[in-house]
Homo-oligomer: A and B are copies of this chain.
Amino acid sequence: MEHVDKHAVKAFLLSLQDQICQSLESQDKSAAFEQDEWQREQGGGGRSRVLRQGSVFEQAGVNFSHVFGTKMPASATAHRPELAGRSFEAMGVSLVIHPNNPYIPTSHANVRFFIAEKEGEAPVWWFGGGFDLTPFYPFEEDCQHWHNTAKYLCAPFGDDIYEQHKVWCDKYFFLPHRNETRGVGGLFFDDLNEWGFEKSFAYTQAVGNGFIDGYLPIVQRRQDTPYGEREREFQLYRRGRYVEFNLVYDRGTLFGLQSGGRTESILMSMPPLARWEYCYEPKAGSAEADLYENYLQPREW
């Protein structure tokens, strides 16, 4: 029987959270992460970290959680009867970064592992995750760097992995009521177990580790770009879309809220400030129109 090393996954996730926080802190310099350790009544808990009012990051939330129970909730086994009667563990790192400078994109990453076990039987498990980028004032070279990072890390796992998970990301981070993608996408995958544990875990590690490689160079390139009220207002307006996506469509957010997850950790993805404006439309030919016209539908990078 294949060895499914959940302890190695947990160790990776904890270390990933550490590394990402350290990278962001050393980039921001003026602010540090605060940490809250929390327990879940039904089993497990987490380590939530937030950096606020930094010089670069208005807010960065980087959460680790590991929840478990002796019995799967009925709602979770209705469509997966093979899980009924099993104990389960779900663990992951999830992060959302809201920078100050509107020339730096918002970014999100998540890696997660689920396992349901029963004595004498093979465990049922899968990995999921990805990362995606949400620019306000996009630069082609930034998006290309982001997607090249994704391509590069996917390559060892198969010729079509980038393409598959890139398309999945475009489909997942889409707002039908706006007919817009959330941003320029990246990678998204779920239910990954067909590769076996070792390769699936290696890929999940590559995705988790790839986030900083993809994001930090963009932050460094844009953090000193001068901006004014116009750019700030547009950033706040577009953050409204982020709120709409997360609260209306994001499965992780909705499942978390509905299943009694820790609300403050789940909603750490919300922007510190967001704006709505009835019937706003960017002026033709403006930098804002460039976002709408060239970056909010799936495209090749």
**Which A residues contact B (CB, under 8 angstroms)?**
36, 50, 52, 59, 61, 176-178, 236, 240, 243-244, 247-248, 254, 257-258, 263-264, 266-268, 270-279
Interchain nearest-CB distance for A217 vs B (Å): 27
B276, A267: Cβ atoms under 8 Å?
A: yes
B248, A278: Cβ atoms under 8 Å?
A: no
Query: How far apart sit A263 and B177, CA to CA, in the bound complex (Å)?
Result: 6
Name the one of B176, B243, B247, B272 contacting A277, with C-beta atoms under 8 angstroms. B272
Counting from the closest, the 10 A-B pairs by CB-CB distance are: A247-B247, A270-B276, A177-B257, A177-B263, A50-B278, A264-B279, A247-B248, A273-B275, A268-B278, A274-B274
Q: Is the interface of A mostly helix, strand, loop or mixed?
A: mixed
When all copies of this chain in the complex are counted, the total is 2
Query: How far apart sit A271 and B276, CA to CA, in the bound complex (Å)?
Result: 6
Query: How far apart sit A266 and B244, CA to CA, in the bound complex (Å)?
Result: 12
Query: How far apart sit A204 and B288, CA to CA, in the bound complex (Å)?
Result: 44
A272, B276: Cβ atoms under 8 Å?
A: yes
Having A176-B258, A244-B247, A271-B276, one finds 7 other A-B pairs with CB under 8 Å, namely A177-B263, A177-B266, A240-B270, A248-B257, A270-B276, A274-B275, A274-B276
A178, B263: Cβ atoms under 8 Å?
A: yes
Name the one of B263, B270, B278 contacting A52, with C-beta atoms under 8 angstroms. B278
Interchain nearest-CB distance for A39 vs B (Å): 15
A240 surroundings in chain B (CB, below 8 A):
270
A267 surroundings in chain B (CB, below 8 A):
244, 276
